[in-house]
Amino acid sequence: MINYISHNQIDRTKYDACIENARSSRVYAFSWYLDTVCETWDVLMKGDYEVVMPVPKRKKYGLSYVYTPAWVQQLGVFSLKDITAEETEIFKKTLASKFHWIDYHFNTGNFVSDRKILTKRNYILPIIGEVDEIFKNYNQNRKRALSRNFDHLFLDKDGSLDLFFKHYQKIDKPYELEEETLRKLNILAEKNPDYVRIWNVFDDMDFSGGLIWVKDKQRITYLMPVANEKAKNENVPTFIINELIKDHLNQGLVLDFEGSMISGVANFYKSFGAVEENYYYFKKRF
C-alpha cells in the first residue's frame, strides 16, 4: 500500500536515510535540498520509509499541481532495493490519481514507458582508477586543451559565493535565469556548506570562471558553471573539471554532469569519457 504523507508529517530522519542509501540516490531528493528549492513538498511512501517518492507541489488559481523545481533534475522513486518497472508504474499511477497537472522527472533507476513519458539524457563519469586511466578516455580535444600551461591560474577551492554571482551577472549567457531561481541557489549554497561547494578561478588577479557543485555520498553534481569568453577560449572549464576529477579519485563517486539536450554541451561532457544514462519526464494535463 502506498501512503500519501503531507509535508508536516514527514519523518525527516527516516526519509533522508532512505534517500542516502537508495540504489539511485540523488542529492535533489534530500529534505534539506527540497526545503530550499521548493515551495512545499510531500511524499508518497511504501512501508515505513522503505520506498519513498518526493512530490514537489505548489498552487495556482487554488489548484495544487506537481512541478519540477529549479536546480532539480531527477526525483522519482527511491529504495534500498532495485525498483521494478511495475513498482514505478504503481507510484506513477498513484501520483496521477491525486493531481490533474503534473510535470515530474523520474530518475535513471525508474524505468517508465508509456506515451506520456519523454526520455531525457544525462551524462555521468565514474571516477574510478588512476588519473592517467581516466585521462585515456578523454577525446583528443580535451587532451589538447589540457596540454596547455595552466600555471598562471589560481583555483580557490573555498570560493566566495558573492564573487561568483557578481561575475555570473556580467557574462554573456545563452539564457537568463530568473532572479528567484538565482536566489534559491544562493540560499542552497549558504545554508549547506558541507554539501555545496564554490570553486573560483583567477587568471593572475582577474576572475576567470567558477563552478558551484554538490557532493553527497554517491555523486558529485555539476550544478552551475560560469566562465567568461576569454576563459572559455583558454579552456578554463576543462581545467576545473579535470581538477575536480583529480580531487575525487577512487572514492566510489560518480561525476554527474546533469546532462543536456543541447548537442554542443552534451558533446563537451562526453569529451571527458562521460557515458549516457536516461531519465524520464512524466507530463499530465487533466
pLDDT the model gives residue 174: 63
Between helices 179-191 and 161-170, what is the axis angle to 10°?
160
Question: Which residues lie across from 155 on neighbouring strands?
Answer: 201
Q: Where are the domains of the chain?
A: 2-113, 123-278
pLDDT higher than threshold 90 for residue 263: no
123-278 is a CATH 3.50.50.60 domain: no
- pLDDT (average), residues 67-81: 97
The confidence score (pLDDT) of residue 274 equals: 96
User: What's the pLDDT band for 62 if we cut at 50, 70, 90?
Assistant: confident
Least confident among 95-99, 202-206, 253-257: 202-206
Bridging pattern class, strands 206-215 and 78-79: unpaired
Please identify, in words, the CATH class of the domain defined by 2-113.
Answer: alpha beta
Q: What single DSSP character describes residue 82?
A: P
* Tens-digit pLDDT profile for residues 204-216: 889 999 999 999 9
Which of 269, 247, 267, 253 is CA-nearest to residue 131? 247
The yes-or-no answer to whether 2-113 and 123-278 have a common fold is yes
Q: Report whether 265 contacts 59 (CB < 8 A).
A: no
